[in-house]
Structure formats: C-alpha cells, structure tokens
Structure 1
C-alpha cells in the first residue's frame, strides 16, 4: 500500500452505519453591536504589525509516523507542543478574555496571505490539511506570531453524501483507523498547537469514538478546539480523563448570511457581552475577505474597551463548561 501523501489519507473500510443527530441551531446574534465594521479593506501600508515569531520547531517534540513527522510530548513528558508553540500572552485574570480562531486557511493563497499579514498575532489560525500551501503557510503564520492549528473533520450528518475529505474521522471505523487519520492530518505541518473540530454532531458526542482521539492528542501534547456541533460534546469529560487542554466555540459564525460583515460584528459583540460573566469566550470564523477585514478592525478596539484579546491557548481549559450547548 502506498504511503499517504498530502492528497491521500489512510483508507479504511466501514463496518456499520452511525446514526447522526440534527445539528445544533445557533442563537440569533444580538442586533446592537458597539463596533461598526469598515467598508474598505485596509491597504497594505495599514497591515497589522507582526508579532514575535513563535518558538522554533523542536526535533525532540516530533516523532516519525507513516505519514511524516507528528508532534509528541518531550521524553520526560513535561513539555507539550501546545505550550511550547503557544503565542506569548499575559493579561490579568480580571479581564474578560476574547479569542477568535479563523479556520479553513491554506486553500486560497491570496486570502491566506492576507489573513496572516493583516490579522493581529493574537488571532489564532487553523489550516486545511488538504491544501498544498499549508506547510509554508503555517510557517509564515508562526513567523508573524500566530498560533497555528489544523482543521479536523469529524463525520458530518448525512455522511458520505456530505464528505469533508478522505481524512474525515468516521464513527464506523475503528479507533486505530481514526487515529491514523488524525496522524495524517498532524503530519501536514509542523509547529501546530492543536486541532479544530469541523462538522461531527454524532461523532463528537460519542465517548467511544472520541476516547482514542483524546488519548492520541494527550500523547501528542496538543489542544482540542470543539466547534459545538454536538450539544453534549464527549471531549468535555474526556479532556479531564486524559488531561487534554481544550476550548469550545461559544459562537460558530455562519458566513452564508446576506450581510456577512454586520452579522459577524453582531456575533463578536454578543461574545463581548457574555464575557463579562463567563470571562473567556471563543468564536470560530471561516476565512473570507470580509471576515479578515472585519476581525482586523474589531481587534483594534478590544483592548481599549477593557477586554483581553487572547490566542486560543490563552483560554485553554478556562471556559465555563455550563455554557456548553448554549452556542
């Protein structure tokens, strides 16, 4: 069997179908934002200043796999990639923390380059494992101070009619097969701090399906970011059992609205209001030119208004778990 490449994920045969739950419907955003989106993309001379380059990839935090080098804990198990490659962040605990992860990067070069150059380093970036540009784009993002993650597709509703790609984790496959697919994704780029779940209402709710993934992420020293496709994500309990740092999306923005900028601003405003009680909030935002310009402009207003703009590691395991299921 040929070694998988960036276009070829591990192939496995399903043994039984898996029932899927209906997707969670997000609440309507607050219609009264305090920040108004710009209508013009900032010209190159107004690009965000780069942050401090992140720590260089360490050979001691890599191990071989059939698909290429993947992350691992240090030999003494005291150092984990998610901590070593985290962006510098220091904010008083009293300040509400707002985190944004932009997903789907790498597939379009111009949009990816604009996101890396325009967004402030506190915005974490997640990359598609299928894009040929991803290894170089991750390196460029880390050079500008962005934490880098990889998109990880969990079996969507109506799979395989809806098929996110050959490395999708599927409930009918064995734990070993799904871990192999996870490793294929992780081998696509080095220096990442974790994965961001995509799709997966049924898979993400299954402790049986997610337990091998949780154990693998622990051994690889990585963080898990849940998209709350499931109202009761299994990783909430598993993260404690396996000591996996995690975060969950309080808002997963849908870019399909008629007025994308206004809807995104309203979503971010909703997170701001909730953060005064919950203290740490996360939005997952699919990449688009409108999303980039909107987030870049909004980010400039966050600190002056009393919030801390945090990379996703800055809210790791800090969110109020009672908020899960209320996206």
Structure 2
C-alpha cells in the first residue's frame, strides 16, 4: 500500500526509484552446518570401509634396511619398511620420526695425538667398543691361545698364570736360543698398531717375523689384526694408554690411566685394556710420561701385570719409574734405547739402526722403537736383510728381556 501511495503522489513524467530485494538462501545456517558435518562423516565412513590400510592411519616413517651379509655377499637388495611409531608424545628432544642414517656409537671418540719429535697433531677416531667374541671358540678365546692362561674378568677374558706357565714365556716370539746366547741381538718394537688397518697390515706383512708388534687397545676389530700378526709369527705387546704431561690436550684415548684416579679405578681401566685381545707377551706404555713418573699411580699397575705373568716394555721416557718397579717385582723388562724414526727420513732411520747395531755389539743387546710409517717399515726391512753379514741377530723383545736380566 505504501508503494502504491508513492506512485499516486509522484510527479508525472518521473520514474519512481524502487528498493532492491535482498537475496535469501533456501536454508538456514544451522541447516548448512549439519549438512557439512554429515558429508565429513560420510567421507570418513567410506574411506574406512573401502581403503586397505592395516595401520589405520597411524604415523609412519620409512627406514632403509641394509641387506644381511652371507659369506661376504649381500643376501638381497635393500628393502624399505614402514615402522610403526608410538602414538604417545615423544620424549623431550626426541625427533618426530626416525632417521635412515645410523647414529655414531656413543663411545666413539676423536683424540689428538701429538708427535713428540715434530710436534705435529694427528686427529684419530677410535672406538671404545668391547671386542666381538668369536662364536667358533669357547668363551670368545682366540685361536692358538692357551685357555689355562686366561680368566674371566669384568670386561672379558684377561691373562693369568697357570702354575709355572706365564704369558711372557708362552707367547714369546720364536728364536734360536743358541744364537741368542752367543751373538749380540737387536730387538725392534713397532708400536701404535690397531688404529688404521692398512698401516697395521703393512707392518704385519712387510716386517720380519722377529720384529715385535705393539697394538693399542683401539680400532674397529683389533682381535682379527692380532690374529693375523700372530699367524705371521710376530711377538705381540699390548700398549696401555697412560696420562701424558699435557693431558687432556694430548689425549691417549678412552679408559686412559690417570694420576688423579684411585688405584682401584686405574686397575679397573687396566682390566678393560687387557680384555681387548689375547696372546700378548707383555704390556707397554702408550704415551704416559706423567703416569710412568708417578710412583703411587704406576706401582699398582706394574704389580698387577707382574702377577699376571706379563713382561713390561718402556718406550724410553727419561723419568720413568718402570725399570726399578719392574725389578722389584722380578718382572721381565726392557727399555727402548732410542727411537728409530724420531726423524722420519731414510738417512736418519739408517743412522739410528746402525747405532743400535753398535750398542748391541758393545753390551750384547739393544732395543729400538719405531712407528708404522711407510718409510720406517721399508728401511727396517732393508736393514734386517743385512744383519747376518754384520754378525748381529734380530730377535723378539722377550729375548732382549732375557739377555738384559742375565747381563
């Protein structure tokens, strides 16, 4: 009626402005919400009924599974597998999904070894894992090892005596005792082996069997390397990491014997080292200038090693108490007279070896120590081939221990 009244009262000849009609939906907001929820429920029900998902929508992570090894060959191709992840909240700092790259072992460490002559620093990655046991031998005993000379320790099998039998004599390198008694002898110890399989194998295969090899307790598989060395008839020593003066800047590695630890703690660490492999005739210090000069720290170690029938080799530290401590325990002992490759050049190594010969002729025996540098291995091998013509015998370290005691 209002619109009709407006048209009647409007002037002739003018259009009347009409109001716009508002668009109205054919359903209310509540009806739209209900329809949406119904659609979602219908979609979910259809997915659950017709989709083949045994994990029911659980979160998953794809992880690469490496093939098993059978006789050195892969048993199959790399597979991928879905691993079910916990539906609960992750621990603090835990990633939401597993990574395909395996984490490094917790006890793998990088230590810095400083060369005493040149001052050069070398970073070496070592593992503190316990050695794997050989399933083919009872109790993880290495082939060729006398089980009577082993006892079970906290970390594995460690050396011991059996009546009058001792490791220092049972595992001594073979030598013509008649020649040892009559001729001057030179013993050479090549140390630092076990870390770095390539250089270790070079020393094992290229050096004469009469050269004694000293292994550190580290490396991925020291047992197999020691087995190979023994198969080549090398005499074996275990190098025990000991505290140097600049520790921890110069770090021998995990389980280092320290002057700040109680005797019981150092002995426990010693047992760890002793269990790393078997078949060694004695122990030697690995670094350790501070430790070998500290009576209260060194005495329990020498006493324990002597009780277990082992010999001791000192690498020549000027302040070492090892000579007097070993003598007090009636322990077979030898000390390096010089470092053969303190200057690692052909000329200097040859001069050091010639000096060892002279010293042996003067007093009946001489002992040199070297590292497994390629130049050292090459020059020692060449020198050893000339010794017969010089009237000097190359003999394992235990022969020098015996001759030193008799002298």
Q: TM-score, normalised by structure 1?
A: 0.77
> 1:85 is matched with which residue: 171, 196, 215?
171
Q: For each residue in 1:286-326, what CA deviation from the matched residue of structure 2 results, as whole angstroms up to 9, or x when unmatched?
A: 1111111111111111122100111001111533899xxxx
Question: Counterparts of 1:1-327 in structure 2 under 5 Å?
Answer: 8=107, 56-74=144-162, 76=163, 78-89=164-175, 90=177, 91-229=179-317, 231-255=318-342, 257=343, 260-319=345-404
Q: For each residue in 1:40-71, what CA deviation from the matched residue of structure 2 results, as whole angstroms up to 9, or x when unmatched?
A: xxxxxxxxxxxxxxx92011100111111010
Contact 2:216 2:286 in 1 (8 A): no
Match of 1:318, SS state, is helix
Q: Using a 3 Å threshold, how does the CA distance of structure 1 residues 153 and 253 change in structure 2: closer, same or farther?
A: farther
Q: 2:136 maps to which residue?
A: none
User: Structure 1 stretch 246-255 or stretch 301-310: which is displaced more?
Assistant: 246-255
Match of 2:403, SS state, is coil
C-alpha displacement at 1:7, in angstroms? 8.3
C-alpha displacement at 1:141, in angstroms? 0.6
Contact 2:222 2:277 in 1 (8 A): yes
Q: For each residue in 1:207-266, what CA deviation from the matched residue of structure 2 results, as whole angstroms up to 9, or x when unmatched?
A: 22111011111122111100122x2421212112212111100012445x3x52222111
Aligned residues: 271
Distance 1:143 1:320 in 2: 29
Q: Which protein shows a greater Rg?
A: 2
Match of 1:316, SS state, is helix
C-alpha displacement at 1:121, in angstroms? 0.7
Structure 2 gap ranges (5+):
1-104, 109-114, 118-142
Q: 2:42 maps to which residue?
A: none
RMSD: 2.5
Contact 1:278 1:319 in 2 (8 A): no
Q: TM-score, normalised by structure 2?
A: 0.62
Match of 1:291, SS state, is helix
Of the two structures, which has the highest relative contact order with CA contacts closer than 8 Å and spacing of 6 or more?
1
Contact 1:102 1:284 in 2 (8 A): yes
Q: Using a 3 Å threshold, how does the CA distance of structure 1 residues 279 and 235 change in structure 2: closer, same or farther?
A: same
Q: 2:89 maps to which residue?
A: none
Distance 1:63 1:215 in 2: 18
Name the structure with the higher strand share: 2
Q: Which runs of 4+ in 1 moved over 3 A?
A: 6-9, 317-322
Match of 1:93, SS state, is helix
Match of 1:277, SS state, is helix
